[in-house]
C-alpha cells in the first residue's frame, strides 16, 4: 500500500479537488506506479483530517478519469493505463501549429468517465449482433434515437420522438445539413456570435444577417425587420454574452414567422436555478433543435443530434446518407447504453457540482483581485463573459490570460458591430484551488494597462 504525501491548503477550499490534483500529479510523475494500492478512504481521511466523503469524491473523480480503478476485494489501485507522460499542448502558439481545441467552452476532458464509457463499449461488443455493424440508417441507430428522444423529453421538455431525430457528427454538421436542405437562405445570427461558426454557415449556402443581442437576448424586433427567413439562436445560454433569452423575447420569437434553429449548447449546465425548457417544445413545427455531447462528455466523440419537423428530418436523413452514410455505430450503441443505464445522468450531476465549484472560485478571485472587471453570463455554461474597464485592450488581456493557462478569447472577432472591451474565459479546466493564484498573476500582468 502506498504511503501518500498529499498536501492540502484548507483556506483555498475545494478539498476533494486538491486531493485529486495531488494524486493525479503523483501518478503522472511516476511517484505512484500502475498497480499500486491506495489507502482506504477512511484511513486517508483520518490521515488528512477531513471527512471520508471528501476522499471518496476525490477517488471517484480519478476513477472516472481513468487514473484509478476500484476492485471489489482489492481496494483502489492506480490504473495500468495511467502512464507517466507529458501534458498535451494547450495552445497553438506554443507549438507554432494550428490548434483546434481548448476553447473557452471546452469541458474538462480529464474528467471524461473512462471506466463507465468503457463498460458501455464492452457491453456493445459483447451483446450487439454482427449485422448491427453494417451500413445502417444514416439517421442513426434506432436504439440511440429512442433513448435520446426520452432523454430530451424528460430533461429539455422537447416534443420529439425517434422518427424526427437524426444522429449527426456534432451540432456543426447538423446545422450544415439543415442549411443544405433549405438551400440559399437569409440566416439571422446573433451579434456577437462565435466567429468559428460563420465560415461553416456561409459554406453551407447561408447569407448571414447580424441581429443584435442585448440584456434580454436576441432583439426579435430587429430580427423581424432584418428580412431573414431563418434564425440561429442560443436561447439557453447565449454565446458569448451568456444571456438567457427572456420570457418576453421567447414569446416574441415564437410569434415570428420564420424557422428557428436552436443551438442547445450548455443547457445541461445550469447552476443557480432549474434549466429553461427548449424552444422546440413550444413549437416543434417551426423549431429545429440541435444538441450534442461535446460539453457533457467530449467534443472528440463527434456525436450530436437534430430534432426537426418530420419533413425536414426526412430530408436531413437523406442528405446525411448522401454525404457519408451516417455516424460510427459502435459509439452510437455505447451512448444508448450509457443513457439507458443512468451513466449519462450521473456524470452530468457530478460535473455540474464540480463546474459550479470552479465557477464560484473564479468569480471570488476576480472580485478580490480584479474588482474593476465585471463578470456576466455565469448562470449556466462553462465560460464567463468579462466586461473590461474602458481603455483596456481586450486582445492584450486575452493573450496574458492565455499565457497563464486560461482559455480566453477577445470579443472583437465575434462582433459585427463595435462594442466595449470584453473577453470570454472558460473555467471548466481551472481547478478551484488554482483560481486565486491565476487571477492574482493576471492582475500583476495587467498592472500596466491604463484605465481612462
Q: Is the pTM of this model over 0.85?
A: no
Domain 10-78 class, CATH top level: mainly alpha
Mean pLDDT of 312-329: 93
pLDDT digits (tens, 9 = 90+) for 291-306: 999 999 999 999 999 9
Q: Is the pLDDT of residue 100 over 80?
A: no
Three cell numbers written together for 102: 481548448
pLDDT digits (tens, 9 = 90+) for 180-226: 999 989 999 999 999 888 999 999 889 999 999 999 999 999 999 99
Q: Is the pLDDT of residue 273 over 80?
A: no
Buried b (16+ CB within 10 A) or exposed e, 399-412: ebbbebebbbbbbb
Confidence (pLDDT) at 405: 84
Out of 4-13, 97-106, 170-179, 300-309, pick the least confident: 97-106
Mean pLDDT of 86-95: 41
Strand partners, 168: 304
Distance CA 345, CA 354 (A): 14
DSSP letter, residue 128 = S
Distance CA 147, CA 144 (A): 5
- Asked if the 118-344 domain carries CATH number 3.40.640.10, the reply is yes
Q: Which residues fall within 8 angstroms of residue 336, CB to CB, at 6 or more apart?
A: 141, 143, 144, 146, 147, 148
Q: Which CATH architecture has domain 350-448?
A: Alpha-Beta Complex (3.90)
pLDDT digits (tens, 9 = 90+) for 110-148: 899 999 999 999 999 999 999 999 988 999 999 999 999
Mean pLDDT of 42-47: 87
Mean pLDDT of 374-384: 92
How many other CB atoms sit within 10 Å of the CB of residue 228? 24
Mean pLDDT of 317-325: 92
Q: Name the band, by pLDDT with cuts 50, 70 and 90, for residue 63.
A: confident
DSSP strand pairing (230-233 vs 259-263): parallel
Confidence (pLDDT) at 269: 87
Percentage of residues in the chain having pLDDT higher than 70: 93
Q: What separation, in Å, do the N-terminal and C-terminal C-alpha atoms of the chain show?
A: 60
Q: Is the pLDDT of residue 272 over 90?
A: no
Q: Is the pLDDT of residue 86 over 50?
A: no
Sorted by where each begins, the domain ranges of the chain are 10-78, 118-344, 350-448
Out of 31-45, 166-180, 282-296, pick the least confident: 31-45
pLDDT digits (tens, 9 = 90+) for 425-438: 999 989 898 899 99
Amino acid at each position: 500500500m502506498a504511503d501518500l504525501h498529499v498536501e492540502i491548503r484548507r483556506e483555498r477550499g475545494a478539498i476533494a479537488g486538491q486531493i485529486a490534483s495531488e494524486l493525479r500529479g503523483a501518478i503522472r510523475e511516476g511517484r505512484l506506479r500502475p498497480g499500486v494500492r491506495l489507502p482506504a478512504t477512511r484511513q486517508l481521511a483520518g490521515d488528512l483530517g477531513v471527512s471520508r466523503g471528501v476522499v471518496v469524491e476525490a477517488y471517484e473523480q480519478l476513477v472516472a478519469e481513468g487514473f484509478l480503478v476500484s476492485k471489489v476485494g482489492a481496494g483502489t489501485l492506480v490504473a495500468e493505463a495511467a502512464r507517466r507522460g507529458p501534458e498535451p499542448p494547450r495552445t497553438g502558439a506554443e507549438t507554432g501549429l494550428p490548434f483546434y481545441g481548448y476553447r473557452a467552452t471546452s469541458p474538462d476532458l480529464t474528467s471524461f468517465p473512462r471506466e463507465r464509457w468503457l463498460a458501455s463499449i464492452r457491453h456493445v461488443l459483447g451483446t450487439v449482433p454482427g449485422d448491427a455493424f453494417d451500413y445502417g440508417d444514416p439517421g442513426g441507430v434506432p436504439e440511440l434515437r429512442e433513448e435520446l428522444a426520452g432523454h430530451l423529453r424528460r430533461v429539455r421538455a422537447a416534443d420529439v420522438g425517434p422518427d424526427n431525430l437524426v444522429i449527426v457528427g456534432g451540432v456543426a454538421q447538423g446545422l450544415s445539413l439543415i442549411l443544405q436542405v433549405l438551400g440559399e437562405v437569409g440566416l439571422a445570427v446573433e451579434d456577437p456570435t462565435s466567429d468559428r461558426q460563420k465560415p461553416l454557415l456561409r459554406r453551407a449556402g447561408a447569407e448571414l444577417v447580424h441581429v443584435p443581442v442585448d440584456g434580454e437576448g436576441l432583439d426579435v424586433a430587429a430580427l423581424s425587420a432584418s428580412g431573414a427567413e431563418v434564425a440561429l439562436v442560443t436561447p439557453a445560454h447565449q454565446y458569448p454574452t451568456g444571456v438567457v433569452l427572456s420570457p418576453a423575447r421567447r414569446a416574441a420569437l415564437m410569434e415570428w414567422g420564420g424557422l428557428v434553429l436552436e443551438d442547445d449548447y450548455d443547457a445541461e449546465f445550469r447552476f443557480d436555478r432549474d434549466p429553461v425548457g427548449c424552444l422546440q417544445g413550444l413549437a416543434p413545427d417551426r423549431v429545429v433543435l440541435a444538441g450534442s455531447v461535446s460539453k457533457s462528455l467530449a467534443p472528440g466523440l463527434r456525436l450530436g443530434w437534430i430534432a426537426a419537423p418530420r419533413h425536414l428530418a426526412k430530408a436531413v436523413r437523406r442528405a446525411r446518407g448522401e454525404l457519408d452514410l451516417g455516424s460510427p455505430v459502435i459509439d452510437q450503441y455505447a451512448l444508448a447504453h450509457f443513457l439507458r443505464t443512468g451513466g449519462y445522468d450521473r456524470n452530468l450531476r457530478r460535473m455540474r457540482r464540480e463546474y459550479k465549484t470552479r465557477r464560484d472560485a473564479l468569480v471570488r478571485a476576480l472580485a478580490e483581485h480584479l474588482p474593476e472587471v465585471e463578470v456576466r453570463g455565469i448562470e449556466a455554461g462553462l465560460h464567463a463573459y468579462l466586461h473590461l474597464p474602458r481603455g483596456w485592450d481586450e486582445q492584450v488581456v486575452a493573450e496574458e490570460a492565455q499565457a497563464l493557462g486560461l482559455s480566453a478569447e477577445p470579443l472583437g472577432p465575434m462582433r459585427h458591430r463595435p462594442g466595449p472591451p470584453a473577453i470570454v474565459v472558460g473555467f471548466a479546466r481551472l481547478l478551484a484551488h488554482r483560481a486565486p493564484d491565476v487571477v492574482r498573476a493576471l492582475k500583476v500582468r495587467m498592472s500596466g494597462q491604463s484605465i481612462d
